[in-house]
Amino acid sequence: MRYDVTLQRCGLSAVFDLKGAADALRNWAGDMLPPLPDHPNTRTGGGGVELYHIGRKHWLARAPLAQEEVLEAQLKPDACPAEISIVRVSDTLSFFRITGPDASQVMAIACPLDLHETVFGADAVTYSELFGLKALVLRCEGGFECAVEQSFGDMVEDYLTLSCRQKPV
Amino acid sequence: MLLIPCPFCGARSESEFIYGGPVRAARPDPNVVSDADWVDYLTVVPNPLGPVQEHWWHARGCGEWLTIWRDTRTHDIVEAPDEIE
């Protein structure tokens, strides 16, 4: 019996890796980015751009691929001050979307995180593991999104596809 | 399996972490200590029967380095011993 989920491999997103002190990033980015999330492993959004607070002085900005060039022109990674770092990493991540009533069941196979809503809320986003690989995990409408390094994309797609097929009876 | 308290992410599965070895004494000045003490510093790793302070790296998480006290008899994460605090 199969889990009641829909597995979708998403196309590329525009992703920028941002490092540095929050004030320095705010000064540089101004209103080009949504407000920086206050709490660890949470996200904010606005204007089609989402900001993920994934580590101490470390954020990911994600937007639809169509916005990549505009965002890069606004953030000016080549010209940013030395105390911050902005790097375009759009090509490095493969995103997957697992949605449906059994999405949490499939995620429980893949990932050691406690993904109950009381612990991993609607705005939660974090790096964790997916089948032993470092992966970005976040909630989306009706399920979860996860991203692994691009070169593991095919393998993780196979693993997720197999996991969806193995519902115990 | 250990649940290791990351200062950024909170309690996370041990599988997200990489062991970084025990916390060692500060590096002595090799010109001041005896040869025996210097060799001890270089080669003897703390391995007590009881609480030991260890480095762990949240490699598959936020990337934070942290230290914890782990009891080698029970594998539990424990408070720092009184004489240390």
The DSSP secondary structure of A47-71, one letter per residue, reads TTEEEEEEETTEEEEEEEGGGHHHH
pLDDT in tens, A25-82: 999 988 889 999 989 999 999 989 999 999 999 999 999 999 999 999 999 999 999 9
Q: Any idea where the domains of chain B sit in the sequence?
A: 3-78
Instruction: Please tell me the distance in Å from A61's CA to the nearest CA on chain B.
Output: 16
Which residue is associated with the tokens 């000016």? A76
Reported as a pLDDT band with limits 50, 70 and 90, residue A121 is: very high
Angle between helix A22-29 and A68-75 (nearest 10)? 110
Instruction: Please tell me the distance in Å from A127's CA to the nearest CA on chain B.
Output: 5
Q: Which residues of A touch B18 (CB under 8 A)?
A: none
- What is the predicted pLDDT for the residue at A69? 95
Instruction: Please tell me the distance in Å from A40's CA to the nearest CA on chain B.
Output: 6
Q: Which residues of A touch B5 (CB under 8 A)?
A: none
A126 touches chain B (CB under 8 A): yes
- Closest-approach residue (CA) in chain A for B62: A55
Task: Compute the distance between CA of residue A124 and CA of residue A111 in angstroms, rounded to an integer.
Answer: 15
Task: Compute the distance between CA of residue B53 and CA of residue B22 in angstroms, rounded to an integer.
Answer: 6
Task: Compute the distance between CA of residue A146 and CA of residue A5 in angstroms, rounded to an integer.
Answer: 15
Considering only CA atoms, give the Rg of chain B.
15
Tell me the domains of chain A and their CATH numbers. Answer: 6-10+92-165 (3.30.1360.120), 13-89 (3.30.70.1520)
Distances A17 to A110, A133, A148 between C-alpha atoms, Å: 25, 19, 15
Across the beta sheet with A133-140, the strand order is A6-9, A93-99, A143-149, A133-140, A125-130
- What is the predicted pLDDT for the residue at B83? 65
Find the length of chain B.
85
Q: Which of A40, A133, A135 sits opposite B8 (nearest CB)?
A: A40
Pick the CATH number of B3-78 from 3.40.50.2000, 3.30.2270.10, 3.40.30.10, 1.25.40.10: 3.30.2270.10
Reported as a pLDDT band with limits 50, 70 and 90, residue B80 is: confident
No. of H helices and E strands in chain A?
4, 10
- Closest-approach residue (CA) in chain A for B1: A112
pLDDT in tens, B3-35: 999 999 999 999 999 999 999 989 999 999 999
Reported as a pLDDT band with limits 50, 70 and 90, residue A87 is: very high
What is the percent of chain B where pLDDT is above 70? 96
Q: Do A132 and B9 touch (CB under 8 A)?
A: no
Which residue, among B1, B2, B8, would best test binding to A if mutated, counting the most A CBs under 10 Å from its CB? B8
- What is the predicted pLDDT for the residue at A115? 94
Q: Which of B15, B63, B64 sits opposite A129 (nearest CB)?
A: B15
What is the percent of chain A where pLDDT is above 70? 99
Q: Do B61 and A127 touch (CB under 8 A)?
A: yes
Asked if residue A159 lies in contact with residue A110, where contact means CB atoms within 8 angstroms, the answer is: yes
**Tokens representing residue B26 in the block:** 């500060």
**Tokens representing residue A57 in the block:** 């002085």
Would you tell me how many other CB atoms lie within 10 Å of the CB of residue B51?
20
- Closest-approach residue (CA) in chain B for A133: B60
Is the model's pLDDT at B85 over the cut of 60? no
Q: Which residues of B touch A113 (CB under 8 A)?
A: 12-13
Q: What is the ipTM of this complex?
A: 0.90
Reported as a pLDDT band with limits 50, 70 and 90, residue A110 is: very high
Contacts with B, A 28-57, CB within 8 Å:
40-41, 54-56
What is the percent of chain B where pLDDT is above 90? 82
Is the model's pLDDT at A161 over the cut of 90? yes
- What is the predicted pLDDT for the residue at A4? 93
Q: Do A128 and B59 touch (CB under 8 A)?
A: no
